[in-house]
Amino acid sequence: MSSYKIEAGTAQHIGNRPQQNDRVALMTGARAPGYVLAVLSDGVAASAGAEQVLHTAKQVFDDFKPGDRPTLQRLEQVLRDIVQETHLVINMNAVTTDKQALASFVGLILSPHGEAVWAHVGDSRLYHFHAGECKARTGDAAYVEHLVASDRLPPDAARNHRKSKLLVNLLGNSRKDPFVTVGHQSGLAAGDVFLLCSDGLWHFFTDAELGAATSRGTPRQASEMLINKAAERSQGKGGNCSMAVIKLARPAQDAGEPGAVRRII
């Protein structure tokens, strides 16, 4: 079992948009004691896609029964199932409502065995820090390589047009299945921090700034500082801003079972 406690929280700000289209949640599995799922989704132009992401994530995670110790590949498959099932439901709903919903996805599973697995679609991001240093970050490099291989685009063309191409790599796109990138880390310890965030946050910060903010303060303190600073740097023109901060901390001597979630926000 893990030798740390989890301090975690979520935060959102509407920015200068008329409505909040991001959705973010922390979940524990009904049949998976000690496992934690963090999910963040940015709905494009509306919140329906992001709402469906969270709804499907809860259903899939509640059905997950890990057994003694699932492989990292099985944990990855849980996240892939959330993506594929959400994508299918959104497209089915589009047929009946005649309205297309699109959404990004970033998800993280923490196991009680000191393991983390994450998956990512679109322009929301996951960061993994240790002692303030960025150890991993999701991005579009793998998707650019996929475009070169599958669409036979010249590498320079794929890189030059990656922003427009990324817009179609979303859950709910009826013309193309989502391209999922995955990552994992074993041997987690106190001092590790994970940040899930929408582009309304990460657009305004360097990796080093995000690492320093999330490592020094509590999830609540980090969230408040980052939201305030994002609003300042956007000069009142920032979009929806959402995040989940998950910190692994040393348990107090009288703390409860290691790996239990302490929700800060």
The domain total for the chain is: 1
Which range marks the domain in which residue 217 is found? Answer: 5-263
Helices (H), 106-195: 141-150, 155-160, 162-166
pLDDT score at 80: 98
In which residue are the tokens 């740097």 written?
A: 233
Calpha distance 120→105 (Å, rounded): 6
Residues in the chain with pLDDT values less than 70: 1-2, 141-142, 144-148, 151-153, 155-167, 253-265
pLDDT score at 263: 44
In which residue are the tokens 């322009």 written?
A: 123
**Domain with 83 in it: what CATH number?**
3.60.40.10
- In DSSP terms, which residues pair with 27 in a beta bridge? 37
Q: What is the DSSP letter of 177?
A: P
Token pair, residue 86, equals 């959400």
pLDDT score at 158: 61
Calpha distance 189→251 (Å, rounded): 11
3-state SS assignment for residue 263: strand
Residues 107-135 pLDDT 10s: 999 999 999 999 999 999 999 999 999 99
CA dihedral 93, 96, 100, 106 (to 10 degrees): 0
Which pTM does this prediction carry?
0.89
pLDDT score at 25: 98
Q: Which amino acid is at 97?
A: T
pLDDT score at 259: 47
